[in-house]
Structure 1
């Protein structure tokens, strides 16, 4: 299983569009209009979230992955579980 956490920044978007985002976050006033945190349980889910955000706000966003972790169902020694996490 893969877990991805990422930071979402949005700018230049109407308030009505920000309300439609599938991400919990905070409204900002300044260079960016919105900041939020994205959680995805797989790379496919992460890509689907990116496409959904792009349909709502166009190209006025950046996503910065901050944590990528994976769990192997069978570890390298005696079948134990091994979890690997990387902060980017």
Structure 2
């Protein structure tokens, strides 16, 4: 399992929609309306979350950008590797 940290940016939505977002974040006044840092279990959960946002916001006026992955330890002499997100793309309109 790969833990993912991501930044969510939302713009062009009404305050009533922002109040329905299922996470805590910060309201902004400028180019973006809302920003939040979120933690997800894996790529599948990130895709599901992006789909929920599309339905809640009624469009694609958000960006969900992965910023960090957890390190995966192999059992061989403490060596470590970091898995890359090959199939995951940044959500953008």
Do the two structures share a fold, i.e. TM-score over 0.5? yes
1:84 aligns with 2:82: yes
How far did 1:23 drift? Answer: 2.1
Distance 1:71 1:25 in 2: 28
Residue 65 of structure 1: aligned partner: 66
Moved >3 Å (runs of 4+): 80-86
1:39 aligns with 2:49: no
How far did 1:44 drift? Answer: 1.1
Distance 1:10 1:27 in 2: 9
**If the length of structure 1 is used for normalisation, what is the TM-score?**
0.79
Distance 2:71 2:22 in 1: 24
- Structure 1: 5+ residue stretches without partners: none
Distance 1:46 1:70 in 2: 18
Contact 1:7 1:37 in 2 (8 A): yes
| Secondary structure, counterpart of 1:44 in structure 2 | helix
**If the length of structure 2 is used for normalisation, what is the TM-score?**
0.76
Alignment length (residue pairs): 83
Residue 48 of structure 1: aligned partner: 48
Distance 2:18 2:83 in 1: 31
- Structure 2: 5+ residue stretches without partners: 85-93
Q: Which has the larger radius of gyration?
A: 1
